[in-house]
Amino acid sequence: MNNSSNNGSPEDGEEHGELVWNEFDWELYLRQRDEALTEYASCYDQVTEFPDRLDEVARRLGWEPTLDGEAEGASEDEEFDDDDLDPYTIHRNPVYVATRALFAGLQRTIEEQATAGQLTPAAAFPLLNALHQAEMAVVLGVQSLDLGDSALGISQLKRAFGLFNRAMGLLPETEEAELAGGDSDAAPTSSLSAYALPRLFDLREICLRVVRECRDELQRPIDDDEE
């Protein structure tokens, strides 16, 4: 990818150079970020039976979620990665990666069951709508934190909590719709609730952790930061 400076001086470029990307560079970057979501989902699916699956996935990926969105490597001695040259965007925020991957899995499963006739569209739509609104609230919350507004980020994430509860409340109704309207010859091999509830609880847990850390930061005396 192109890394150039607005200044013609090589020495000045080393200190004040700006990353200049064209549309192709950004498209390649976005594809790499999409692969990061797929990698997270794959790791998560391998540890669904773990009680600490969120922490286990983070360990396997070699990063821990932080409020500033940086992904901490597992070792400082690791070989330098080309990704370190990439600019920081919300797409690299660990909270964004984890939540987007979990939301995508939920939405894909609901759509697949509806397409297969295992779930009526009338039952699937309210659930998908609740998940979409929750995802938007989380993304806006993460973006607010990246911009340095912890209070706004907390407010956005608190909105997501209510939407998680709404989605959970829709699941029993969805299960009833499966039994009433689904094709008996195409019965789902596993309950939608069994798949969705752990992921909804994990989404809520991620947001709770972020809110807790934000509040700790807001309540911390300024003197502590200076020390």
pLDDT tens readout for residues 135-167: 999 999 999 999 999 999 999 999 999 999 999
**Do residues 70 and 138 both lie within one domain?**
no
The count of other CB atoms within 10 Å of the CB of residue 106 is 21
Q: What is the pLDDT of residue 109?
A: 94
Residue 3 inside a domain? The answer is: no
Task: Supply the DSSP string of 20-33, one letter for each residue.
Answer: ---HHHHHHHHHHH
CA dist 184 to 41, 130, 181, 200, Å?
Answer: 30, 27, 9, 27
Question: Is 105 found in the same domain as 74?
Answer: no
pLDDT value of position 5: 41
What b/e readout covers 189-220, taking b as 16+ CB neighbours within 10 angstroms?
Answer: eeebeebbeebbebbbebbeebbeebeeeeee
Residue count of the chain: 227
Residues 48 and 154 in one domain: no
Most confident of 29-43, 160-174, 175-189: 29-43
* pLDDT tens digits for range 190-215: 588 999 999 999 999 999 999 999 99
- 187 plus 167 within the same structural domain: yes
Same domain, 128 and 76: no
Same domain, 213 and 151: yes
Question: Which range marks the domain in which residue 105 is found?
Answer: 91-226
| 26 assigned to some structural domain | yes
183: pLDDT strictly greater than 60: no
What local confidence, expressed as pLDDT, does residue 64 receive? Answer: 63
Residue 157 near residue 137 (C-beta atoms within 8 A): yes
The answer, yes or no, to whether residue 178 has pLDDT greater than 70, is no
Nearest partner of 98 among 131, 55, 130, judged by Cα: 55
pLDDT of residue 14: 42
Per-residue model confidence as pLDDT tens digits over 45-56: 999 999 999 999
How far is the C-alpha of 15 from the C-alpha of 38, rounded, in Å?
36
CB-based contacts of 127: which residues, under 8 Å, 6+ apart?
A: 110, 167, 170, 171, 174
Contacts of 6 (CB under 8 A, 6+ apart): 16, 17, 18
Task: Looking at the structure, tell me whether residues 71 and 102 fall in a common domain.
Answer: no
In sequence order, which residues have a C-beta less than 8 Å from that of residue 106 and are 6 or more positions away?
131, 195, 196, 199, 200
pLDDT in tens, 89-144: 999 999 999 999 999 999 999 999 999 888 888 889 999 999 999 999 999 999 99
Counted domains in the chain: 2
